Amino acid sequence: MHFTVRGGLGRTSTVKALEHASLRLRRGRIVALVGESGSGKTTLARLFALMYTPTSGEIRLRGEPVGPRRGRAAREYYSEVQMVFQDPFASLNSMHTVRHNLARALRIHGRAGRDDIEERMHALLERVSLTPTRDFIGKLPHELSGGQRQRVAIARALAVGPKVVLGDEPISMLDVSMRLDILNLLARLRDEEDLALLYITHDIAGARYLAEEIHVMYAGQMVEGGPTEEIIQNPQHPYTRLLLGASPDPARTLTPGGSSVFADVEDSGEPPNLTDPPPGCRFHPRCPFATDSCRRAFPARTELPTGQWVHCWLYPSGAST
Ligand code: SF4
């Protein structure tokens, strides 16, 4: 996904926001997309939500390519794929009550008629544990706490009966005390609704708590992914090791003698400007293992016997650990 941006004096430049990205979501599973801000996580979710048209590449739903859609075709897609945004206050219509916000989603997608709409709205509030539901249904968004607002936003996403929910940092604007509640709610919905859930976060500890798979992004490139515990205990890509090193976790394995297994990668810089990113592996200016190959070309994907995959010249394609 490349974006053209206009600067002063009519000049334009291209932001190379996302390259070499491939991600598959499956029903009943949560995939976490982890990386610093500007790494391309939200761009990828917005592509899935058809908010952008990819510069190249393809989005498929059940194996069928999905192109740009409008009107009824777009509604059909959104009845299967819903997004939950970071800021629940901005994503709900602040002038209207919870009832209005839910009723609108139900009506637009034909999920309720005049006779059962009230019942369906109460059922939605129950599914996100806003009970007793009569205490919430008439409230305006500003009369709710941040956690309650995010539950309403999730209920609205569920109103259409989606198969896929894209959560773009859904807990990052909430008080710490509410974050675990929302994570537990998402886990429960995965199990009860058999949802395919994308969970975008910069917090790898939260990703570990919630997701079956973690995929790591750096500066618009996907660098490593695989089963959650393999990524946490046995990270292969130097950037993943850096990320984990910055997120101390007593449950993670330490080498004998007590030093971190991630001590070989130190933080020595900032992510690049995506209007002029470094060629090859974009992590190379920060990577202590960088070679000429890293500066020349982005490495192919190497599948590892652990179920992980990695894009790094330290692992020639087909190599095993
Ligand atoms: Fe480091 Fe090269 Fe691997 Fe990139 S490809 S992470 S620069 S070793």
Confirm if 169 and 200 have CB atoms less than 8 A apart. yes
Q: Note the pLDDT of residue 263.
A: 56
Decide whether any atom of ligand 1 lies within 6 Å of the 287 Cβ. yes
91 token code pair: 């994503």
Return all residues near 241 (Cβ < 8 A) that are at least 6 apart.
Answer: 235, 261, 262, 264, 265
Q: Note the pLDDT of residue 261.
A: 43
Decide whether any atom of ligand 1 lies within 6 Å of the 313 Cβ. yes
Decide whether any atom of ligand 1 lies within 6 Å of the 85 Cβ. no
What is the best residue among 284, 291, 293, 311 to mutate for testing ligand 1's pocket, by most ligand atoms within 8 Å of CB?
284
DSSP assignment string, 218-237: ETTEEEEEEEHHHHHHS--S
What is the C-alpha to C-alpha distance for residues 103 and 48, in angstroms, rounded to an integer? Answer: 25
Q: Note the pLDDT of residue 40.
A: 94
The burial class, CB within 10 Å (0-12 / 13-18 / 19+), for 89 is: middle
Return all residues near 6 (Cβ < 8 A) that are at least 6 apart.
Answer: 12
Decide whether any atom of ligand 1 lies within 6 Å of the 284 Cβ. yes
Q: How many CB atoms lie within 10 A of CB 27?
A: 12
What is the C-alpha to C-alpha distance for residues 248 and 205, in angstroms, rounded to an integer? Answer: 9
Q: Note the pLDDT of residue 90.
A: 80
Q: Note the pLDDT of residue 240.
A: 95
Confirm if 165 and 197 have CB atoms less than 8 A apart. yes
Which structural domains are found in the chain, ordered by start? Answer: 24-30+39-206 (3.40.50.300), 212-321 (no CATH)
User: Mean pLDDT in runs of 10 for the chain (321 residues)?
Assistant: 87 92 95 94 95 95 90 92 88 91 93 92 95 96 93 94 94 84 92 95 92 97 97 95 79 46 61 92 94 95 95 75 41
Matching residue, tokens 């004096």: 9
